[in-house]
Amino acid sequence: MENPFKFGTIVEEEYFTDRIEEVAYIRHFVESANHLILISPRRFGKSSVVAKALSQSGRKNITVNLQQVTSVADMSAKLLREFFKVHPLERIRHLIAHFRIIPTLSTNPLTGSMDVSFQPGVDASILLEDVMELIEKTHSREDRIIIVLDEFQEILDLDPRLDKKLRAIMQKQEHVNYILLGSQESMMTDIFERKKSPFYHFGEMMRLGKLPREDFHRYLSERLKPQFSDQCNELANRILNYTACHPYYSQQLAANVWNVSVLQPEKEDALEAAINHIVISHSLDYERLWANFKRTNKWILQSLAKNSALQTKEYPTSTIYSALKRMQKDGYVIYSDHYEIEDPFFKEWILRGI
Ligand SMILES: Nc1ncnc2c1ncn2[C@@H]1O[C@H](COP(=O)(O)OP(=O)(O)O)[C@@H](O)[C@H]1O
Ligand SMILES: [Mg+2]
């Protein structure tokens, strides 16, 4: 039997659980003329929940992940490439002819999809304007398209005035709805809630939490059952206690527990063996990470790992607090109702070293 758990990619169909209200809420947006902003720490399930709502709605959509974009020209090329997946070139060729800068198009023989590139050195904001205008023109009020921009906070890094330019372009569009996803809470709130930001109050803001424990427990235990029979309930509980219900790490741990029980049936405690395996296989990365942390950060991470108070005579509270905020921004620490280390296996690695 194949491993019934999946992590690291967008999860769909039988790998996707719960989020019923969230999917319904996003669908409601997708069917209106409004824009949606969705925020959560990374790997909580934003991309998955949006993909689900979009596939249910049947609306035309394109997605570009700004983390995988290297410049404004590259962003324009990727938008156009995705657009070709929705609208075949033959039907929009006449519109491309109006581009001020004509892209080079070629069919990728391996994937069959269209590769798009622009000559280097051209004015990238013209490219972006032309691509966006094409998307707008191809659609209508009755047939809006949805553009999903994942890891949207990256616009601040891509080009210093990109937020202004992009907002000006969007201002003129009436046939496009946007779903903007981000995993850096502070940058995202800065973009959408700072009065002077071009994206101030651009759309409805929604935050995604962890998966509800009861549902996630049912999901895990049903899937563990073929391999663990009557132990599956307890095992699901132990997994969720260990990962604090984090969607990604829970699936990762469950997948490893499954592997241990199939490949090393002699192990008495599959969970312990799985944790050990994950910590050891990541230890090189953890060592590298750790070596680059400042002393204050190391102290904070150790305190969080031990669940001890974040108070010491050694550092002023303000220093601790700003270091904590910084680590939250970088994704090492997350806050739901308290601060915790994002990766439970990194936490384990830290505890083992104390
Ligand atoms: N609804 C869900 N049901 C089950 N697992 C999920 C769900 N949402 C997320 N996950 C787990 O979390 C991982 C990360 O999800 P993803 O959608 O890529 O998150 P994000 O876009 O927030 O980084 C998935 O690969 C999967 O293992
Ligand atoms: Mg994502």
Assign residue 19 a region (left: φ > 0; alpha: ψ between -120 and 50; beta: otherwise).
left
Assign residue 99 a region (left: φ > 0; alpha: ψ between -120 and 50; beta: otherwise).
beta
Ligand 1 lined by 256 (C-beta under 6 Å):
no
Output phi, psi for 116, to 5 deg: -125, 135
Ligand 1, atom 23, lies closest to the CA of: 43
Q: Which ligand has the nearest atom to the CA of 250?
A: 1
CATH tag for 19-207 (out of 3.40.30.10, 3.40.50.300, 3.20.20.70, 3.30.465.10): 3.40.50.300
- At 285-314, the pLDDT tens digits run 999 999 999 999 999 999 999 999 998 899
3-state class (DSSP) for residue 232? helix
Q: What is the pLDDT of residue 111?
A: 82
CA of 87 to the centre of ligand 2 (A): 24
- At 19-56, the pLDDT tens digits run 999 999 999 988 888 999 999 999 999 999 999 999 99
Inter-CA distances, 165 with 36, 168, 170, 354, Å: 19, 5, 9, 50
Using alpha carbons only, give the angle 348, 352, 353 rounded to the nearest 5 degrees.
120
Lowest mean pLDDT among 113-117, 228-232, 281-285: 113-117
Q: Are strands 204-207 and 36-39 parallel, antiparallel or unpaired?
A: parallel
- CA–CA distance, 145 with 139 (Å, rounded to integer): 7
Ligand 1 lined by 132 (C-beta under 6 Å):
no
Kindly state the tokens that stand for 279.
């910590």
Domain boundary assignment for the chain: 19-207, 213-353
Q: What is the pLDDT of residue 325?
A: 93
Ligand 1 lined by 251 (C-beta under 6 Å):
yes
- CA–CA distance, 127 with 103 (Å, rounded to integer): 9
- At 168-220, the pLDDT tens digits run 999 999 999 999 999 998 899 999 999 999 999 999 999 999 999 999 999 99
Ligand 1, atom 8, lies closest to the CA of: 45
Ligand 1, atom 9, lies closest to the CA of: 45
Q: What is the pLDDT of residue 256?
A: 98
CA of 246 to the centre of ligand 1 (A): 9
Q: How many Cβ atoms are within 10 Å of 115's Cβ, its own excluded?
A: 14
3-state class (DSSP) for residue 182? strand
Ligand 1 lined by 215 (C-beta under 6 Å):
no
Q: Which among 5, 40, 43, 68 is the best mutation to test ligand 1's pocket, defined by most ligand atoms within 8 Å of the CB?
A: 43
Q: What is the pLDDT of residue 242?
A: 97
CA of 99 to the centre of ligand 1 (A): 38
Inter-CA distances, 78 with 81, 82, 317, Å: 5, 6, 45
For the purposes of burial, counting CB atoms within 10 Å of the CB of 204, is it exposed (0-12), middle (13-18) or buried (19 or more)?
middle
Is the pLDDT assigned to residue 153 strictly greater than 90?
A: yes
pTM score? 0.91
Quick one: pLDDT band at residue 94, thresholds 50, 70, 90? confident
- CA–CA distance, 130 with 99 (Å, rounded to integer): 6
Kindly state the tokens that stand for 47.
């991309």
DSSP code for 310: S
- At 51-85, the pLDDT tens digits run 999 999 989 999 999 999 999 999 999 999 999 99
Is the pLDDT assigned to residue 245 strictly greater than 90?
A: yes
